[in-house]
Structure 1
Amino acid sequence: MNAPDRSDTETLAWLTLLRAPALGSAGLRSLVTRAGSAAAVLDGVEDLRREFSIDPATLAWLQTPDAARIDADAAWLAGGRRLLTWLDPDYPALLREAGTAPAALFVDGDVGSLWLPQIAIVGARSATAGGLANARSFATHLAAAGLTVTSGLADGVDAAAHAAALDAGSATIAVMGSGPDLIYPRRQAALAERIRGHGALVTEFPPGVQARPDHFPRRNRIIAGLSLGVLVVEASVQSGSLITARLAGDQGREVFALPGSIHNPLARGCHQLIRQGARLIETAAEIVEELAPLARALGDRLRAHLADPAPATPAAPVTAPTQARDADYTKVLAALGHDPVSLDELALRTGLGVAALSSMLLLLELEGEVDSSGGGRYQRR
């Protein structure tokens, strides 16, 4: 899959749009789909601003962007990296179908690896010795079976799974909650370098963007969207891994969980997932058996894509909440007003857990129905 010339007008237009404040992935996907290209959005922004109710701050940026910032982003891409946009035929098919897909991905490494059949392995940063051993064992066996391990480059389970896949001679994909040039946590810099050479580092955040707590649920929905299924190794009931699992379930992906001791607090999240319908897993072979037909189907699509890499212009997808909004989403919207409310207050109003609320609020925010006002507070748009 060959990268286009980084200096072209369309790439610069995409970089300008991705830096625009208050636009968001859903709005950007809609704009470029409507206009036909990123350059056409910039050329026709005056005509589009009423149709799409473009925010004044966004409009001001699109009319007079920071040229030095855009040039710096283009210089990062010139180092052999790739900006994979919503209109790019190489944009990974599974992620495109996820409903909350980012408008573009910054990729450092092998873009083709994003089309490989993937299994996400996630879990606690402070995993037990047994949890780390399980992460390594499952990653090794799943990689040997032909599945690419995808995770979030965090300490604990994520790092153990990435390293084991690399040690098994397989590619691995790390989705980041920071810009592509800022490895977080820094202690994983050596691991990130290995992944860059045998897989890919992926993020929706432009260069120079620091990791922030609210970035990680966004990262998690990309992990879920790229993967055929998600395996949760160890997790507390407040773990971000449960957000990844919830997002995977909302996207129609398989969710697997390892059981543990009732005395281990990091087993409680997995047990909660199992009670909610995740498949209890004891061996890697069970996952391979479940995902093999899906992997074969994805392989067929990859072969077709390589034979004819130019798809029809994609329409903006319908997000999971709109597609099949369940009672919980309705309950959350009913509990939200037009004044900011904290996540803890929403939990009291709805009776829903914090992990479930976090994933639902992320989807509703990406869909344009909810605004995050910072500090973990939300309101209806």
Structure 2
Amino acid sequence: MPGENDAAGWIALRSARGIGDVVGRKLLARFGGMCAVLSASVPALVAAGLSETAAEAVCEAPRRKAEATAEVERLAAIGARVIPCTDDEYPPLLAQLADAPLYLVARGERLVDAPAIAVVGARHATPYGKDVAARFAEELAQAGVTVVSGLARGIDGAAHTGALRGGGHTVAVLGCGIDVVYPPEHAALTATIVASGTLLSERPLGTPPLAEHFPARNRIIAGMTHGTLVVEAAEHSGSQITARLALDQGREVFAVPGRIDSPLSVGTHRLIQEGAKLVGSVDDVLAEIVPALRARGMAAPSRRDAHLADDALVPLLTAGPLAADELIRQSGLPAAHVLTRILELELRGILVQLPGKQFQLSTR
């Protein structure tokens, strides 16, 4: 039988008729691992809740090992790999979902253990919306936050571009096979993400970008991040679906307000009415995710030029609380560096945030 990390075994299990992600994860919990599931008898699988037809399909899965192995070889030929839900690289937040994929297919860099924010929005975005998305993503990346989006036209593409410009890690979650470039005009962006970030998909090779695949894709985007930022969204848009999935998963939701006469503001304004946090800067996002990072015991990400901010920020705060804007002004450092260090110092308990977005040295 294949080992627990054997990619072909996972593909064979997931391809068994009647075995979706929810059922598959229940079987893993019941039997203790993929190998045990594949070696279980029909009566044992039926006792675990499967129909006899589904149980027989699972028992037949090892016989399809040759097909699964061929898929793994095709993945390897394009530099892709399988990340099982039991692997250390599998996103830990995503693993908490009952319907998290049994495995992900990845191309590019290894997924990093860092705070992550989804940046999503309209495909037919305005120049303003794309500029805002790119700017937020760039500053988030500079602050050590992984930017996750869906590689769609409009806001998604702008978010990935901004994150790359900021020198950070970006993850593109696809609604098609990992080998399918969609939309076609993002071919160059896709290649850049493969070189400097990560592409993810739960679909087999060659799967086309069908409309019904994207809601499922959105659960991955929301599920692997600490919060979702929506920049421009029409009513009943896919971005609203992603935001509501994030809320259902207990994650933060942020929305950038827009013009009251724009159809692309209807979705974001409704999210704000329903409790999403209105944000006007990256500082607003960073301030909100600190408690979530602390609750999950996450270490602060590594920071560029952190030693400069250490030397500059702490002395400025010895006289009393200061707002982030004032710390930026008095330190003379780039805004992204100051916001980065504020987040790290908060996580370490050196700074505390006061009402009005002011910061002071901790008295602990």
Note the residue ranges of structure 2 that are not aligned, 5 or more in a row: 302-364
* Inter-partner Cα distance in structure 2 for 1:297 and 1:8: 30
Letter paired with 2:126: T
Map 1:98-113 → 2, pairs under 5 A: 98-113=97-112
Distance 1:8 1:142, change over 3 A: closer
CA deviations on 1:160-208 (whole Å, 9 max, x unpaired) are: 1001110111110001111212222222122111111112111111222
Per mean C-alpha deviation after superposition, the further-off stretch among 214-223 and 59-68 is: 59-68
Secondary structure of the structure 1 residue equivalent to 2:119: strand
Please name the residue that 1:22 is paired with: 18
Map 1:109-258 → 2, pairs under 5 A: 109-113=108-112, 115-258=113-256
Map 1:46-125 → 2, pairs under 5 A: 46-51=42-47, 52-54=49-51, 56=53, 59-60=56-57, 62-63=59-60, 66-67=64-65, 69-79=67-77, 80-113=79-112, 115-125=113-123
1:39 Cα deviation from its structure 2 partner? 2.3
* Inter-partner Cα distance in structure 2 for 1:7 and 1:30: 19
CA deviations on 1:246-274 (whole Å, 9 max, x unpaired) are: 00000110000111111100000001101
Secondary structure of the structure 2 residue equivalent to 1:150: strand
Map 1:292-311 → 2, pairs under 5 A: 292-295=290-293, 300=298
Distance 1:48 1:11, change over 3 A: farther
* Inter-partner Cα distance in structure 2 for 1:8 and 1:33: 14
* Inter-partner Cα distance in structure 2 for 1:58 and 1:215: 26
CA deviations on 1:275-313 (whole Å, 9 max, x unpaired) are: 11101111111111111343466574699xxxxxxxxxx
1:38 Cα deviation from its structure 2 partner? 1.7
Task: Give the alignment's TM-score, normalised by structure 1.
Answer: 0.72
Letter paired with 2:132: N
Matched length: 297
* Inter-partner Cα distance in structure 1 for 2:286 and 2:238: 25
Distance 1:93 1:214, change over 3 A: same
* Inter-partner Cα distance in structure 2 for 1:296 and 1:241: 27
Alignment partner of 1:44 is 2:40: yes
Letter paired with 2:44: L
CA deviations on 1:100-124 (whole Å, 9 max, x unpaired) are: 32111111122332x3211100000
* Inter-partner Cα distance in structure 1 for 2:52 and 2:220: 26
* Inter-partner Cα distance in structure 2 for 1:173 and 1:30: 28
1:45 Cα deviation from its structure 2 partner? 4.1
Letter paired with 1:273: L
* Inter-partner Cα distance in structure 1 for 2:277 and 2:211: 29
1:60 Cα deviation from its structure 2 partner? 3.7
**1:278 corresponds to which of 257, 276, 286:** 276
* Inter-partner Cα distance in structure 2 for 1:134 and 1:54: 50
* Inter-partner Cα distance in structure 2 for 1:186 and 1:299: 40
* Inter-partner Cα distance in structure 2 for 1:209 and 1:69: 16
* Inter-partner Cα distance in structure 2 for 1:9 and 1:165: 31
Distance 1:246 1:30, change over 3 A: same
Identity over the aligned pairs, expressed in percent?
42
Please name the residue that 2:340 is paired with: none
* Inter-partner Cα distance in structure 1 for 2:90 and 2:168: 21
Per mean C-alpha deviation after superposition, the further-off stretch among 62-71 and 103-112 is: 62-71
CA deviations on 1:224-247 (whole Å, 9 max, x unpaired) are: 011111000000112000000000
Per mean C-alpha deviation after superposition, the further-off stretch among 245-254 and 199-208 is: 199-208
CA deviations on 1:60-117 (whole Å, 9 max, x unpaired) are: 475165455313211034345331112223322111123432111111122332x321
CA deviations on 1:133-181 (whole Å, 9 max, x unpaired) are: 1111111111122211100010100001001110111110001111212
1:55 Cα deviation from its structure 2 partner? 6.2
Quick check: 2:4–2:35 contact (8 Å CA) kept in 1? no
The structure showing larger relative contact order (alpha-carbon pairs under 8 Å, at least 6 residues apart) is 1
Secondary structure of the structure 2 residue equivalent to 1:93: coil
Per mean C-alpha deviation after superposition, the further-off stretch among 8-17 and 250-259 is: 8-17
Note the residue ranges of structure 1 that are not aligned, 5 or more in a row: 1-5, 304-381
Quick check: 1:110–1:200 contact (8 Å CA) kept in 2? yes
Distance 1:36 1:61, change over 3 A: closer
Secondary structure of the structure 1 residue equivalent to 2:71: helix
Secondary structure of the structure 2 residue equivalent to 1:214: helix
* Inter-partner Cα distance in structure 1 for 2:232 and 2:200: 24
Map 1:294-333 → 2, pairs under 5 A: 294-295=292-293, 300=298
Secondary structure of the structure 2 residue equivalent to 1:78: helix
Letter paired with 1:187: E
